[in-house]
Amino acid sequence: MTKIEPLGAVRERVTSELRRQIIAGSLLPGDRLVERELAERFGVSRVPVREAIRALVAEGFVHFETPRRTVVRRLTPTDVKELFELREALEVYAAGLAASRATPEDLAQVQELIARAAAATEAGDAELITDLNSRLHDRIVAMAGNSLLTEALEPVAGRLRWMTRRNEEWPQLLVEHRELYEAIASGDPDRARAHALTHVRTNYRSTMRHLFGDEEAP
């Protein structure tokens, strides 16, 4: 007998794949999402596609231009500014906590992620670099040992990954992540916060450049 995939699993599969395509740039800002076409592409009914689109609207990846027209969202400078302000507030604080709470096992996991990111950078694998860099930041937040910090960042994690995917200054990011690791590993919260602040602000300026050309970050 053919196993029937539960509706929830189908919805999550479609949502995850559309999210991945948006972050990777296969679906570009302004591209239209048509239920019928997506249902045919995924080989599913229109119901899970409709629910997936609603989930992506809630996550900030797509929006309804009209009741009948759904498109991938076009990011604005204000979108970037607001998300990076949130990231600065939370990730800098998390880095300070991580410096005082990280275990040897935590630090070893970060080292492994950096090593894998170095290999991916050498290979020019943009999608893997994005994934590893995001996991590194998630790991640092987890090292802070504060579940509310994790919950506060979770709703915007996908959009941050989407934005930073446009920043392809991979060797510079690798240098910054190594410096941030060393600061956290030193056990000095002030040093960790300082490096995290510099990293977030540098990434903000780079992201603005890559998204909006020569427009300067406010």
Walking along the chain (218 residues) 10 residues at a time, the average pLDDT comes out as 74 94 91 96 94 94 92 92 94 97 96 97 92 93 94 88 82 95 98 97 90 64
Q: Where are the domains of the chain?
A: 7-72, 77-212
**Which pLDDT does position 68 carry in this prediction?**
87
- Residue 2 DSSP class: P
Compute the distance between CA of residue 182 and CA of residue 90 in angstroms, rounded to an integer. Answer: 19
55: which 2 tokens?
A: 């989930």
**Which pLDDT does position 3 carry in this prediction?**
62
Q: Which CATH class is domain 77-212?
A: mainly alpha
Q: Is 86 helix (H, G, I), strand (E, B) or coil?
A: helix
Length of the chain: 218
Q: How far is residue 150 from each of residues 31, 130, 133, 164, 182, measured CA to CA in Å?
A: 31, 19, 16, 19, 22
Q: How far is residue 168 from each of residues 4, 42, 87, 119, measured CA to CA in Å?
A: 41, 30, 19, 15
**Which pLDDT does position 157 carry in this prediction?**
86
Domain 7-72: give its CATH code.
Answer: 1.10.10.10
Q: Do domains 7-72 and 77-212 have the same CATH topology?
A: no
94: which 2 tokens?
A: 């998390």
Q: Are 50 and 35 in contact (CB under 8 A)?
A: yes
CA 71 to chain centre: 20
202: which 2 tokens?
A: 């540098």
